[in-house]
Amino acid sequence: MPATLRALAVLAFAGFVVGGPANAVAANHDIIIAQMQFGTVRPLHVGDVITWHNDDIFRHSATARDKSFDIDLPPKSQKSMVVKQVGKVDFYCRFHPMMTGTLDVQP
């Protein structure tokens, strides 16, 4: 193909790589714990930050079944963590095992 077209193709490819999901800006996600339940968890990407908010008057935790994280949350506290692994991770509260949720992490 002509050199100019090839250059355009290379530029287009570079643009795709730079703008691709791997370089997406990390998003912040708030997961609210209230009335003994974990709130909505939106789809996540590696590098995103989750801030867990415990709005209850009880102590809770956000504990991964695969032990990849274990966040202790005293009443009316909040803590942040960076999402590091791809896949679905089920989590629960160590103090109230009926409280459960799932992180769905894309690359």
CB of 53 to Cu ion, least distance (A): 13
User: The dihedral of CA 92, 62, 86, 40: what is its sign?
Assistant: positive
Q: Which is nearer to Cu ion, 45 or 53 (CB)?
A: 53
Question: What are the Cα distances from residue 21, in Å, to 10, 26, 68, 88?
Answer: 19, 10, 23, 18
Q: Which amino acid is at 78?
A: Q
Q: How far is the CB of 52 from Cu ion (least distance, A)?
A: 11
Chain residues binding Cu ion by CB under 5 A are 60, 93, 95-96, 99
Nearer to Cu ion, 62 or 105 (CB): 62
